[in-house]
């Protein structure tokens, strides 16, 4: 099973780096598998620390793919690291093992601290739709435009029926990104 989370790592200059990653759990350990190249991977290998943030603020996911990477954070409790203010819960991790791979190494972490901040409020279809659209945006160069258009048309139903302000904002960033990409492909010079 894969859980979509936000991983915060520490850059060489001490600042926070924020990126969505699908993580897996095995025997109480957490597995993160970043495709190379990745700033998060560089940070993980250098510091051997990470924070897994569980958040329902889907703007953080959509933002990572549309150039909006700065979100409020605070210091982690047991490790050098940062916790998203928007985290419902978080886990602080230390690197335990690396399975090297030229394309996608697999890093296994032990949990050294975890905390819950806000209760899970229930599933929301618009949040799920934003996550799906974010994954589509990360694959724009690999997927035919008709497939993107068909999937966005379907996901729009959940947005229209169930979104709140945060979901609508995240959705608008992703749609703008897709429209700009399509315009670039057609040779139009949209900003």
Ligand X SMILES: Cc1cc2nc3c(=O)[nH]c(=O)nc-3n(C[C@H](O)[C@H](O)[C@H](O)COP(=O)(O)O)c2cc1C
Q: Does 38 bind ligand X (CB under 6 A)?
A: yes
Contacts to ligand X from residues 124-153, by CB under 6 A: 131, 134-135, 138
- Which of 48, 42, 73, 44 lies closest to 60 in space, CA to CA? 73
Q: Which phi and psi angles does 125 have, rounded to 5°?
A: -65, -35
Contacts to ligand X from residues 63-102, by CB under 6 A: 64-65
Stretch that binds ligand X, among 20-28, 147-155, 158-166, 177-185 (CB under 6 A): 20-28
Q: Which of 33, 60, 73, 76 binds ligand X (CB under 6 A)?
A: 33
Q: How many CA atoms lie within 13 A of 146 on its CB side?
A: 0
Q: Does 55 bind ligand X (CB under 6 A)?
A: no
Question: What is the size of the binding site for ligand X (CB under 6 A)?
Answer: 18
Q: How many whole angstroms from its chain centre is CA 161?
A: 24
* Smaller CB separation from ligand X, 100 or 188: 100
- Which of 64, 59, 12 lies closest to 34 in space, CA to CA? 64
Q: How would you classify residue 111: left for phi > 0, otherwise alpha for psi between -120 and 50, otherwise beta?
A: beta
Q: Which residues bind ligand X (CB under 6 A)?
A: 4, 19-22, 33-35, 38-40, 61, 64-65, 131, 134-135, 138
């Amino acid at each position: 099973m894969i859980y979509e989370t936000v991983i915060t790592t520490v850059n060489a200059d001490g600042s926070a780096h924020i990126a969505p990653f699908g993580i897996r759990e095995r025997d109480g350990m957490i597995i993160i598998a970043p495709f190379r190249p990745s700033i998060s991977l560089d940070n993980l290998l250098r510091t051997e620390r990470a924070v897994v943030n569980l958040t329902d603020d889907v703007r953080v996911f959509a933002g990572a793919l549309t150039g909006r990477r700065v979100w409020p954070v605070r210091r982690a409790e047991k490790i050098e690291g940062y916790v998203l203010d928007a985290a419902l819960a978080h886990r602080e991790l230390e690197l335990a093992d690396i399975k090297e791979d030229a394309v996608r190494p697999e890093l296994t972490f032990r949990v050294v601290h975890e905390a819950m901040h806000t209760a899970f409020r229930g599933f929301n279809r618009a949040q799920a739709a934003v996550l799906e659209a974010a994954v589509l945006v990360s694959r724009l160069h690999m997927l035919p435009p008709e497939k993107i258009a068909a999937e966005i048309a379907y996901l729009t139903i959940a947005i229209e029926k169930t979104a709140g302000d945060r979901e609508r904002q995240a959705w608008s960033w992703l749609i703008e990104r897709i429209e700009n990409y399509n315009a670039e492909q057609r040779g139009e010079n949209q900003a």
